[in-house]
Amino acid sequence: MTAGTGAWYAFGGDGPPGPAVSPDGTAVASLAGSLDLPWPAQGQASAEVEGIGSLGTKGEQVPVPIASITKVMTAHVILTDHPMSGDGQGEEVDADQQAADESFSTSESTAPVVAGHRYTQRQLLELMMLPSGNNVARLLARWDSGDQERFTAKMNKAAAALGMDRTAYAGASGLETGSQSTAADQLKLARAVMKNEAFRRIVATPTVTAPGADGQIRNSNKLLGQDGVIGLKTGSSTPAGGNLMWAATQEVAGVPRLILGVVLHQQAGTNPAAGMDAAFRTSHTLITAIRAALPHALAAQSPKS
C-alpha cells in the first residue's frame, strides 16, 4: 500500500491484475503508438506505465548533466545498504561539522543541519530529497562509505546493475556537472526505487521539520499533490537546465496504475529557475495528457469478450 493514496500499484506484477497485455509486447507498442502525447519540444523525456509498458521516449538520448536528480541514486544506494520499513526511522546518524558548515552555503541548495545532533536515517533522507540538501547528500555518503569517492563508486556500480549504460555519477549531490545521464536511463532508476515503500513515502511528503530550522521545510516538487502526482525529484542548474523525475497515478479498469516519467535538459544554459519552471510546465502538460488518454487507450487495447 502506498502512503497517502490508499491504493495498490502494480509494481512488476504485484497487486491486482490490470488490463491484459500481449506477451510479445505488441499491445504495448500499439499503445505507445496510439497516444499522441505533448512531449517537450526540447531536451529529453521518457515515460511508462508500471506493469503495462513504455509510453515512448523523446529527444536524442545522449548523456546530459542531471543536477539534483542525482540524489535519487544516492537514496537508492542508502536504502539498499541500510534498509528501512515504510514508516520506520532507520539507523541513527551523527551530523558532522562539515555538513553543518555547508548548510550556510549560498552557492548551492542546502538543508539545515546541526553539528553533533543525532538524526535518524529517515530525517536525513527527507532533508536530502525535499529541499534537495547537497550537504545532506554528502553527509549520507560519508556515513555510508567513509568518503564521497567510495560512495560514488557504489552509485556507478548500482547504475550498471540497473542497465543504465549511458549514466555516470561524479558525486552524491548532483552539484558536479560530471553526473550525467539520459531520460531513458533515469526512468530505469525511477522504476527500481519506487518499489521501495520508504522512498515512496518520503518523496510524497509535502513538508517536514528539522532541528535548528524555523517552521516547515517544503518539498521542492511544485507538482506534488496535483493531478495524481505523488513524487518524485527536482534538479536544476545552469548547465543541466530544469529536470524532473516524476511519479503519478491514474485508475485504469479499476486498478490504480503508477505512471513514471523523466524530463531533462529544459532551457539548459539559461538559469536554474527558468529551467525548473520549464521542467514543471512540460511535465505537467505530459502528465495530464497521459492521465486523460490512458484509460481509453488501454480499454481499446484490451481483448474483447
Domain boundaries, the chain: 26-301
Residue with more model confidence, 293 or 166:
166
- CATH class, domain 26-301, is alpha beta
User: Which tens digits make up the pLDDT trace of 146-205?
Assistant: 999 999 999 999 999 999 999 999 999 999 999 999 999 999 999 999 999 999 999 999
Average pLDDT of the segment spanning 36-50: 95
The answer to whether the CB of 261 falls within 8 A of the CB of 255 is no
Q: Which residue has the higher pLDDT, 305 or 262?
A: 262
**pLDDT tens per residue, range 272-289:** 999 999 999 999 999 999
Amino acid occupying residue 173:
S
C-alpha cell at 293: 488518454
Surface-to-core class of residue 61, CB atoms within 10 Å of its CB (0-12 exposed, 13-18 middle, 19+ buried): middle
